Structure 1
Amino acid sequence: MVWRHLTEPSLLARRWTPDDLHVSEPALDARPGGRIVHEYRDTEDADGSTPTAGRAEGVVDDARPGEHLAYRLSPLLPDGSLAFTAHVEMDLRPTGAGTDLGVRYRITDSTVESADFAAGIEVGFGQSLDKLATALASDSHGADSADSTDTRSTK
């Protein structure tokens, strides 16, 4: 269940942004070389009538279903250039109580123009992980699987 929430676009859309945003175009092809798109809008823009709040594009580096997901994702600045590159690795480990999720998040290639954006990553990514835990808890009540997220690490 955790792997599905990390890789299926419809489930990603439920949790892949901070609280003040929503995903308008989620795409993640969970195989090495697979394409990633993360386009998002302000929460008030439910009908897509205003310009996007942001867009990021990337590629999956490694995917071992149920075990490991590694990808690079680069948010775009308003002029279309890259703000920075996020290198994200997620490791899943089964436990007696469910699934532990370890996350490593590293930023490279950052630009001066992205400083404010990059400063909010820890809070925003933390909110995304909190949404993941909530979605897993709610889904596990109606599913046969007992997986849940026991820990989170954003370092």
Structure 2
Amino acid sequence: MKDKLVTIVKNSWSYLLTLAIGLYLAEILAGAIMALSRYKLTFADHMPTVLKQLTLHPWHYYNLYLGQKNPVLIIVSAAVVLYTIYFALKRNGKKKSWETADTETHGSATWGNLKELSAHYFSISDKDLTTAFNNSTKAEILQSLVDREKSSKGAD
């Protein structure tokens, strides 16, 4: 049970950190907008003090704005939560798409046969392609590949 909990924490720490930073920034944004609406033209004079208070006491101001049902905080917080969930699901989906079955390939990659390769990538005939391949490859390497294929089929 403890190992499973440690694994879950290891896999989710980056998402929790993203969520915490996003909510922290949402609190600062909501506080800055509230200060702007309060101080209007003198906002620049009060900005250092306001930002200092918002950054030093995020929990207090987050709870205060949430209790006041501040729309900026609620909207930005919801966006941060949804973005974090989307990011986690998308990343998890990409990780699973790279898992393969028994094909010894990565993702959706497969080995092409001679007909597919020549149809998509070459404008020469199959016979010319085979001849060029055989001429450019050492005969003993080709023979070892053929022998390996025969021995693996014989083992099955």
Compute the TM-score of the two structures, normalised by the length of structure 2: 0.28
By percentage of residues, which structure has more strand?
1
Larger Rg: 2
Greater fraction helix? 2
More contact order relative to length (CA 8 Å, sep ≥ 6): 1
